[in-house]
Amino acid sequence: MIRSFLTAGLAALATTAWADDTKFSTHLHAKFHHSACLTCHQFFTKNIAGTGKKGLAWNTHFARKKQACTECHTSAVTSMEKAEDWFADHELDYTGMGPKETCEFIKTTHHGKTGTPAAMLSHLLTDPRIMWSIKGGLPNAGNLPMGKKAELIPGDIDEWRTQVAAWINGGMKCE
């Protein structure tokens, strides 16, 4: 009894001490791959890698164009200051990629806005779409039209800020 308690305690201690916050794989990878982020990033994907599914543009959101999003995802729904910030785009999909690939992808996608530490920090801590996906990021985080609600990524905005800062200050390692 005492022995198993001790062993469990030591194992917990070891995990805490050795979890390297500077690696993308430690906390951020799982969060990036949560549905709150991915459903948008997969929006226009016709065949989502390894899932047998199609992005929303191909089913519930059939044929909806970029400009039309705000007809339903209004500022009142999302609590984004500018309603137009609610949109999706092509070539944002990183479904099924491992930590290294996901990390390299977000640094080098065609938008090319997040390649430097300053730009990455600014995007991950202020982008309204990201704030919408995290508890405490926006007043209406997770809110969808017709009173629906998306599941938010695990953890709150303070935890996100801490984990993002640790990764960026640690050199944005793609491990």
33-52: contacts with ligand HEC (CB under 6 A): 35-37, 39-41, 43
Binding positions for ligand HEC, 5-24, rule CB under 6 A: none
Interacting span for ligand HEC (CB under 6 A) from 8-16, 19-27, 70-78, 166-174: 70-78
Which of 51, 76, 111, 117 binds ligand HEC (CB under 6 A)? It is 111
Beta bridge partners of 156: 135
- Cβ proximity of 103 and 174 under 8 Å: yes
117 binds ligand HEC (CB under 6 A): no
Residue recorded with tokens 């390894």 = 50
**Encoded tokens for 144:** 């969808």
Write out the two tokens for 12: 């917990």
User: Minimum CB separation from ligand HEC for residue 20, in Å?
Assistant: 20
Q: How far apart are the first and last CA of the chain?
A: 38
Q: Is the CB of 117 or the CB of 145 nearer to ligand HEC?
A: 145
Cα distance between residue 157 and residue 175, in whole Å: 23
Q: Alpha carbon of 112 to those of 26, 106, 125: distances in Å?
A: 24, 8, 17
99, amino acid identity: P
123 binds ligand HEC (CB under 6 A): yes
Tokens of 27: 């906390």
Answer for which of 87, 125, 154, 168 binds ligand HEC (CB under 6 A) is: 87
**Which residues are near ligand HEC by CB under 6 A?**
32, 35-37, 39-41, 43, 56, 60-61, 64, 66, 68-69, 71-73, 86-89, 92, 106, 109, 111, 113-114, 123, 129-130, 132-134, 144-146, 148, 150, 153
